[in-house]
Every structure is written in C-alpha cells, then in structure tokens.
C-alpha cells in the first residue's frame, strides 16, 4: 500500500453563530426591436429579457461526528497522521453532552454550519411576424445553480464540503403558420443541454489544513482522482475526495396541425426526441478500509482496491404520433378523444460500444448475450388512448363552476 495523507484540523469553537439568509432578485425588459438608422421593428419584431436570482444560506442542525482523538492521531505513522488530522478535533472535556474520548481512539465532534446555494436564470426571446399568417420566435434560457453541503454523522466529516453545480441551457425555434382560418400548424425545434459536476474536496474548515490526496498518491492535478479512506468506529468516519461529471444533450422536434371544422377541433402531429448523455466514470478510484484500531496504528488496511470505469455515450431515441379531437357536443359539454402511438427502441452508443445484455428466464439460466444484443426488444404496439370530459355546471359571472374528468392509459 502506498502511504496516504490528508488534511489536519484544529478544535472547533464551542459556540458558533449561524448564518441564515435568503436574497432574491429579478428584472425584466421588453419591447419592439428598433435600431436607429438600420431597422424599425415596431409592430413586427419584439424582444423580451428576464433574469431571476436566488441566494440561500441555510443553517443546519447540530450534528455529532466521531473523530480521532489527539492521542490516537499521535500514535499512527507520520505518513498517515495527515489523514487523521483531516477531521476536526473532539470537543473539550468540559463540553456538556459531548464525549471527548469514547475509549476506542475516537471522540465526539459537535458542530453546526450553514450550507449555501445559488440560482441564476436568464431568458431571452425574439418574436418576428412576417405576416398575419406566418410568425417566428426564438427563445434561449440559461440557468445555473450551485450548492455546497457539509455533512456529519455516519461517514461524515464537516471539513469535507461537497459541491454540486448544474448548468442548463435550452434553444427553441418556433414557427406558427396559418394556412387558412381553419387550418393552423405549429413547428418547434429544441436543443437542450444539462452539465453537472459533483466534487468533494478538503478545506480549512475550523483550521483544517487542505491536502490534495491525489497528489500524495502520485497523481497529477489534471487527473480526476477519487479516494475513500474509512476508519474503524461506530459512526465509521471517512475521508472522501474526488470529482465526477455528466452531460445530457437532447434534440426535440414537434410538429402539430390543428383543423377546426364544425363542432370539432382535430389536432394531430409527431414528436421526436434524441437524447445523448455522456456519463463519465470516476477515474481512477481507490478505497482504503481499516477495520481495527491496530490496523491504523500500523498503517496496514485490511481492504484496498482500485476501480477504473469507462465513459459511456448512450443514445436514446423516442418517436410518437398523436391525434386528438376536441368535440363540443353542447354549449356546456365538451369531450376530448385522443390516441398516442409511441416507439422506444433500445439505446445505441455514439462511439459504437453498446452495453452487453444479460438474458435468461431465471437466476440459474442467466448468461451473457452476444455482443450487440439490444437491452430490450422494441414494442410496436404502445398505444395510449385518452378520454376527457368537461361540463359547465354554472356559468354565472363570478360563480363559474366546471366539472372536468380525463383518463389515459398505455395499452
């Protein structure tokens, strides 16, 4: 086993002030697009912009974490001392309701903290009317969020903040066409992406001394390196250090035609989606498990293993056809009838490396299917009928009452 090191820490103050706050902000701006000397978009081209932000600092209830005692830290080899010093020191002997030494090399740490989070959402839209029968719009949205959480208790270490960041972006183009007073078509093309990153680092919470565990194992800072070190105790204190990320990309095309005739309004169209997420493995990952106090003092873990995961590039496609008839039988009674047909084939892979499939009818007959066998067989009879009823019980102004019922199911 190669020596592992981590961070150290100082004693937590016996009383801390909780920080709690919530701040929101918003702004909107819109109007016609007019560029002096170049373009006049009055009554033809419009824009709309909006922003909404949130800042939240949420206090956490006091928690108990088992951490190595100063005596235990001093008894381990020097190469392993930084790992034990990564935890806050146990509470002082005089601290009420806190046990400074549990008798097994660990004591209790009791502390509170606040977990911050933030959201920033931007939206912009442009509308342009070529004529009364042809209109186009473009919409873009960008929403970023992040949060930081410290944890205690089982497998917890307050000096080990976990951060999560999401960035969601959507691009949508829409075309509305009126072929006549009774026939209208709506076309939508959308692309969206969602990037997420989760990371657990070591910081100087309560005087801790951050250490890059990957570098201590001879791994360069440019590599993603995940380490878990579990120590022997009731609450199993552990150091977790690492990072992983994923990306989700999706195309969506929807085209809907509406025909109004008599008391009927018939809508039909197609809906196609293509999702291509990228799932990145935690590479490499190394786990060190110590099952006894003597194993720690000799720096000889009972269980050590490493894992390397391959990135995955699955591709999912989903297609559906739909038709719906909104029938106004009487002024107070409306019925909606619809049918949707969906096709969901097994996923492929952008890089050609499709996953293996397990086949068999029981545990005793399970076996690995030949490479290229789909994860499931495509079902060609996924029909979903829909029925809805709406009845106006009362239409008196100020006392309008409507009974509505609908039901759909996938056959």
One-character DSSP codes across 91-111? PPTT-TT--S--SSSEEEEEE
- Please give the share of the chain, as a percent, with pLDDT higher than 90: 40
pLDDT at 236: 78
* Range with the poorest average pLDDT among 91-95, 111-115, 139-143, 342-346: 91-95
∠ CA 78-83-2, nearest 5°, is: 70
Token pair belonging to 319: 């297609």
Q: Tokens 């003092």 map to which residue?
A: 297
pLDDT at 310: 81
CA dist., res. 132 & res. 42, Å (int): 15
| In the chain, domain spans | 21-261+278-312
- Taking all residues of the chain, what is their mean pLDDT, rounded to a whole number? 85
- pLDDT-derived band at 365, boundaries 50, 70, 90: confident
Residue 290 has pLDDT above 50, yes or no: yes
Comparing CA positions, the residue from 162, 159, 161, 186 lying closest to residue 175 is 186
CA dist., res. 326 & res. 388, Å (int): 9
Q: How many CB atoms lie within 10 A of CB 317?
A: 16
pLDDT at 17: 36
The separation between CA 400 and the C-alpha centre of its own chain, rounded to angstroms, equals 41
Per residue, the 3-state secondary structure of 269-325, as one string, reads EEEEEEECCEECCCCCEEEEECCCHHHHHCCCCCEEEEECCCCECEEEEEEEEEEEE
- pLDDT-derived band at 294, boundaries 50, 70, 90: confident
pLDDT per residue as tens digits for the range 60-84: 888 888 888 889 889 988 888 888 8
Residue 227 has pLDDT above 80, yes or no: no
Token pair belonging to 253: 């095309």
Total number of residues shown for the chain: 411
pLDDT per residue as tens digits for the range 116-125: 999 999 999 9
Residue 202 has pLDDT above 80, yes or no: yes
pLDDT per residue as tens digits for the range 148-161: 998 888 778 888 89
What average pLDDT score do residues 179-196 get?
96
Please state whether beta strands 39-40 and 34-35 pair in parallel, antiparallel, or not at all (unpaired). Answer: antiparallel
């Amino acid at each position: 086993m190669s020596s592992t090191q981590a961070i150290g820490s100082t004693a937590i103050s016996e009383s801390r002030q909780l920080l709690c706050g919530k701040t929101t902000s918003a702004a909107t701006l819109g109007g016609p697009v007019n560029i002096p000397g170049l373009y006049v978009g009055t009554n033809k081209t419009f824009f709309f912009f909006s922003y909404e932000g949130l800042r939240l600092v949420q206090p956490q209830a006091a928690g108990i974490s088992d951490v190595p005692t100063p005596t235990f830290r001093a008894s381990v080899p020097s190469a392993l001392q930084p790992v034990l010093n990564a935890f806050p020191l146990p509470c002082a002997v005089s601290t009420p309701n806190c046990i400074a030494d549990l008798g097994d090399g660990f004591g209790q740490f009791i502390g509170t903290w606040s977990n911050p989070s933030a959201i920033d959402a931007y939206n912009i839209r442009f509308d342009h009317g070529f004529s009364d029968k042809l209109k186009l719009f473009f919409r873009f949205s960008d929403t970023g969020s992040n949060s930081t959480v410290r944890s205690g208790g089982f497998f917890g270490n307050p000096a080990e903040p976990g951060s999560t960041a999401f960035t969601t972006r959507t691009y949508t183009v829409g075309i509305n066409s009126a072929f006549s007073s009774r026939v209208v078509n709506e076309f939508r093309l959308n692309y969206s992406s969602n990037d997420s990153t989760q990371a657990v680092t070591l910081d100087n919470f309560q005087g801790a001394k951050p250490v890059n565990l990957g570098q201590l194992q001879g791994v360069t800072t440019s590599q993603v390196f995940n380490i878990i070190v579990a120590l022997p105790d009731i609450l199993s204190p552990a150091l977790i250090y690492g990072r992983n990320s994923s990306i989700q990309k999706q195309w969506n095309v929807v085209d809907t035609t509406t025909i109004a005739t008599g008391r009927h309004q018939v809508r039909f169209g197609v809906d196609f989606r293509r999702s291509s997420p990228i799932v990145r493995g935690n590479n490499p990952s190394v786990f060190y498990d110590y099952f006894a106090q003597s194993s720690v003092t000799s720096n000889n873990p009972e269980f050590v293993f490493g894992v390397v995961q391959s990135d995955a590039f699955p591709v999912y496609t989903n297609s559906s056809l739909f038709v719906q008839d909104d029938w106004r039988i009487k002024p107070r009674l409306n019925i909606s009838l619809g049918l949707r047909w969906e096709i969901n084939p097994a996923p492929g892979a952008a890089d050609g490396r499709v996953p293996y499939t397990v086949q068999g009818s029981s545990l005793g007959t399970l076996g690995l299917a030949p490479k290229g066998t789909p994860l499931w067989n495509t079902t060609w009879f996924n029909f979903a009928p829909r029925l809805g009823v709406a009845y106006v019980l009362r239409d008196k102004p100020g006392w309008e009452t409507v009974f509505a019922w609908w039901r759909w199911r996938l056959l």
